[in-house]
Structure 1
């Protein structure tokens, strides 16, 4: 192990240089002794395709994350809004409860207020008002008597007091129960009012949609009625035009049988198309002669085409036969060539076996051991 406290700056630089060279040599070994990198190299196109695919996947992942994040934000906003609304309702209910307690459950109205009254000592009566004071008992040290003369009255007062206390407790309990029910009814009424408001808004929306659909239906009916009226007007106009045309045709020279009506002033051979009544017998005979001549010409043309087709078919058959003979000749030459190649391969295989036998038994008698090969590829230099 090196003792750096005894090394000079030059020694440190030399050690750093040696370490750097050693690392470079190790990197060079990894690069040169890797046959894949040395012989094949790096597929740049494949790496670029992988990079592009990775970028595409990252972009797709980012797009999905953005969509999920937007949906999550919307859900959070809705949850926050609902939570805020619930908090407002709870706050409102607590405020109403506190108002009720402030107005109807004051401290001085409690049954045990006299025990916690700060002015209780001021409100107390003196120890003795008169001789018949019922508060003066044996331990009062105010009046010493041998018997309790007012015990029945005192017990009656105590029973009345206990009865009054019980009645007050029942009234207070009923009042508390009534107040609790009133608070619950108020909360339920608020929830029902909110639901009714939502239903009312939904009904308003349905009514608006229904009215919009009714308006659209009325508009479509008006368009259909207008279209029907337009079509009826158009049919009526067409009927009137056809009637006028029929009347004009009947009153014109079109239906007359005179061939002179079709004679045009442009020349002796010219005809007026809309007044033309047909051909004469001479014209029909001439047309018949022309048709016969055309039929004869078509028959001759068809015979010539059939003769040409037969000649073409004979030419094609001869050509196909020649091609078939040429294919047979080529196939025969290929068979002969494959046979020669097979014979040549057999001869080369025999020569190779003889040469390998010569090398194994005569030339390569002294084979190298593993120690000989282990001395190579120890360094990149």
Structure 2
């Protein structure tokens, strides 16, 4: 039997390790700024092409191994059919030989009837002493016996010939069916080979188209990079030329002022301003001195105003203190009057209580007064 080199199933550890390595490569590819900004990775594409070719080679080897295994199975099945037929022929020949050797007509119980008593057992007992149970030949049975035997032999020959022809027809039919099945298998194999060839051609055309597309992309990217470098170089040169010939390098102060339409003053360009002139500086100093003097005058006025406010506040505070003192005096006098009135009320209440206790309620009830109540049911 041919050895089939089929790819074995990877274990869990190998699968996890493969996924980790793939994830690491993916992160390295994604986080590569230069590769992400500029475009495709030619090395990665070449690696993918190599991996694809390796996978295709593995598939081709596997298909070849399967073809060898299929051929071996076909040969084994054919050999098994041949062995089975030979075994059946041998069994049939042995059965015929056994029948011819051990099941002859002469060895049967009625051999004396069928074979004219040749080799049959003969009894020495007289026929007169034998009973009805010992009778083997009856009257009328011997008539047409030879003709009947010949007819039976002919019928047996016809049956055997018919069986033989039937077996031959079956054998021919089986051979034809086997031939048809073999032809169908061959056609299927040819169809599979053709489909595989077409598939390979399609894959090859796809790979060629993909390679051409990748090369075109690579060339386009290279051309785009060259054009970008050329444009950047021209821009840098133009900027250098403009810088060398601009007013910034010539130290021209007038370029910092731009005239505006109407009566509006000139506007100063900040990016071109080179500093102030002496006239401008003296004007600024004069303006600053005027602002300082104005500030001094404002401070003096504020001091005078604050002094007036302080005097007014002092007067108001003295007036408020005087009013508080008068209010306190009024409250004290009112409290004294209230105290005198309360003392008068206390004396009157005390006198009234003494009147009640000493003059009005002098006759107190005794126990007999209380015992006279609740003495009967009425």
Question: Quick check: TM above 0.5?
Answer: no
Q: Which TM-score band (shorter chain)?
A: 0.3 to 0.5
Q: Given the two structures, how large is their TM-score scaled by the length of structure 2?
A: 0.32
Q: Flag the structure with larger Rg.
A: 2
